[in-house]
Amino acid sequence: MLRVTGLLLLPALAASAATNLAPAISLLLDDSTALQITAGLKQYNSPPRFAGKVTIVGGGTSSIHINRWTAEFATLFPDVDLDTHGGGSAAGLNGLIEGKVDIVHMNRPLATNEVAGFKAKFGYEPAQIVVAQGAEGVYVNKNNPISGLTLAQLDSIYSRDAKRGGGRPELWSDLGITGPLASEPIIRVSLSQVHSSYVFFQDTVMQGADYRFDVRFESVPTSLVQAVGANDAAIGFASVALATARTRFVPIQARDGRFLVPSFENTSTGQYPLVRFVRIVFNRKPGGTMNRAAREFLRFAVSRRGQRIIARAGSYPISLEQQDEALRRIGEGP
């Protein structure tokens, strides 16, 4: 690795050509691959139709999964009232404790204080399951030739206090880029602080440091990816499920030194450095019962049918081990 004027540069960065780099959308699973990957999952065996209600609250890109699942679930159980709301995971967890919400979806694990607050009310911890595999992809415009970034470089791009020692890059040339883009300022884009991506990146990449003052914050994930796709000098990070043809993913250096894109293989094996899971949190006393409508919805979501639905929406299905663990936590009782 080279160190030039306080910046960490990778020798290969300046030599790549944008025409050889695949668009972000190429990492999404096609129907044939999705069928193959999910073939080993248990199928959903729906019970006879019943009436009920399930209230679902959450936010961010996990809403994509919920919307797809509720649309299909409604065809199986038209007498079940599916009451879905945005508002974020924090609001959802408050509603769960108050007994007003059945399911909370989120792109992050529960915080220690959130678990403690729930346990203080009920005497046991909330149940949580993984319902989709995913990752935070680093997006650049499809015309940007950069071939890889280290976590130190990512930190230095966004952080007010680059704790990893990546320097202070201002122009794309500071990251090893040559050609027309070299003299362009780096346009930094992030989701706003109401999104879990903001905190995830801050904790995982920036080691808790504050964002630079010149970071452009977007309130909607799709807007971030569109902003990067519209400007050759922009860079941003968001769920891989938002991939477009006008953007591509920057390979990020893994622990073993390789530079990896957030493909299904790299994500499911945990080799990609910015892996994230989509989770659902719910209230079920260990060995006890729960809202029947909520239970059936969760069983459907983690089933082979449910996982194929989200694969077509751009997400990565869970493994058989993750499905088994989810079904164990959901339980088979009423």
* pLDDT of res. 168: 93
* pLDDT of res. 3: 32
Architecture of the structural domain at 32-133+277-330: 3-Layer(aba) Sandwich (3.40)
Tens of pLDDT along the chain (334 residues) come to 333 223 334 433 333 333 457 899 999 999 999 999 999 999 999 889 999 999 999 877 788 889 999 999 999 999 999 999 887 888 889 999 999 999 999 888 888 999 999 999 999 999 999 999 989 999 999 999 999 999 999 999 999 999 999 889 999 999 999 999 999 999 999 999 888 899 999 999 999 999 999 999 999 899 999 999 999 999 999 999 999 999 999 999 999 999 999 999 999 999 999 999 999 999 998 888 899 999 999 999 999 999 999 998 888 999 999 999 999 999 875 5
Q: Please, which residues have CB within 8 angstroms of residue 218's CB and are 6 or more apart in sequence?
A: 189, 190, 191, 192, 224, 227, 236
Superfamily of domain 21-27+135-275: Periplasmic binding protein-like II (3.40.190.10)
- Same fold for the pair 21-27+135-275 and 32-133+277-330: yes
β strands within the chain, DSSP E? 2-4, 7-9, 52-58, 80-85, 103-106, 127-141, 187-191, 216-218, 234-239, 247-249, 252-253, 259-260, 275-282
Q: Where are the domains of the chain?
A: 21-27+135-275, 32-133+277-330
β strands within 171-285, DSSP E? 187-191, 216-218, 234-239, 247-249, 252-253, 259-260, 275-282
Which pLDDT tens digit goes with each residue over 311-334?
Answer: 988 889 999 999 999 999 998 755
Cα–Cα dist 117/284, whole Å? 15
* pLDDT of res. 22: 86
* pLDDT of res. 13: 39
